[in-house]
Amino acid sequence: MSIKEYQKKRDFRTSPEPKGSKKKQDNNFVIQQHDATNLHYDFRLNIDGVLVSWAVPKGPSTDPSVKRLAIRTEDHPLEYADFEGVIPEGYGAGTVMIWDRGTYRNLKDKSMSACLDDGHLTVWLKGKKLQGGYALTHTDKDRWLLVKMDDDKADARRKPTSTQNKSVKTGRTMKQIEDDS
Ligand code: MN
């Protein structure tokens, strides 16, 4: 997948989203809460200079017994990791918040792109809200499962998607982001 598909879906004359040209390998990730047609969390990992992306309807869990559906979506440009605001119309119209971000480490001894081809990747996240191992496993078509690995960062009682609902970039709530635009 290339970011051409991302660019094709959007009209950059009306959308505040970045068009994308930057390329750099820096193992960062971002999770953007996106109040579009349906509220979801976009989980994006920088793999070889693009943000490989999944839409997670219920968001990530910190409980290893919980499997969260993650739908693979088009790759996004790296600049998208800084995007927070309101998409007024067109594809993905709605409010976007930087819910969490940080760096990740590949837990497998092969490249992230090889893991992606295999349909199974495991990463150690170092975010503000999420830490520890997470596994993404392909099931069929564009469907994957996102599961917290059972490590010392696992916590069945924490519900970060409901208790930590402010932007890690600006401290704003979804409502404040919407009102500010
Ligand atoms: Mn989205």
Q: Give the DSSP letter string of 30-71.
A: EEEEEESSSEEEEEEEEETTEEEEEEETT---S-TT-EEEEE
Q: Which residues pair with 98 in a beta bridge?
A: 32
CA of 62 to the centre of ligand 1 (A): 21
Are the CB atoms for 11 and 92 separated by under 8 Å? Answer: no
pLDDT-based confidence at residue 97 (cuts at 50, 70, 90): very high
User: Rounded to whole angstroms, how far apart are CA atoms 134 and 39?
Assistant: 22
CA of 10 to the centre of ligand 1 (A): 13
pLDDT, averaged across the chain: 94
Are the CB atoms for 123 and 107 separated by under 8 Å? Answer: yes
Q: 107 vs 17, which has greater pLDDT?
A: 107
Question: pLDDT by residue (tens digit) across 33-77?
Answer: 999 999 999 999 999 999 999 999 999 999 999 999 999 999 999
CA of 65 to the centre of ligand 1 (A): 25
Would you call 65 exposed, middle or buried from its count of C-beta atoms within 10 A (0-12, 13-18, 19+)? exposed
CA of 71 to the centre of ligand 1 (A): 10
Q: Give the number of other Cβ atoms within 10 Å of residue 174's Cβ.
A: 20
CA of 149 to the centre of ligand 1 (A): 24
pLDDT at 13: 85
CA of 57 to the centre of ligand 1 (A): 9
Residue with tokens 């070889």: 48
Taking 70 as the threshold, does the pLDDT of residue 165 lie above it? yes
CA of 109 to the centre of ligand 1 (A): 30
Question: pLDDT by residue (tens digit) across 19-34?
Answer: 877 665 579 999 999 9
pLDDT at 98: 98
pLDDT-based confidence at residue 171 (cuts at 50, 70, 90): very high
Over the Cα atoms of the chain, what is R_g?
Answer: 15
In what helix (H) or strand (E) does residue 179 lie, and over which residues does it extend?
helix 174-180
- pTM value is 0.90
User: Rounded to whole angstroms, how far apart are CA atoms 9 and 1?
Assistant: 14
Q: 114 vs 181, which has greater pLDDT?
A: 114
pLDDT at 1: 63
- The tokens describing 55, both together, are 């839409």
CA of 121 to the centre of ligand 1 (A): 21
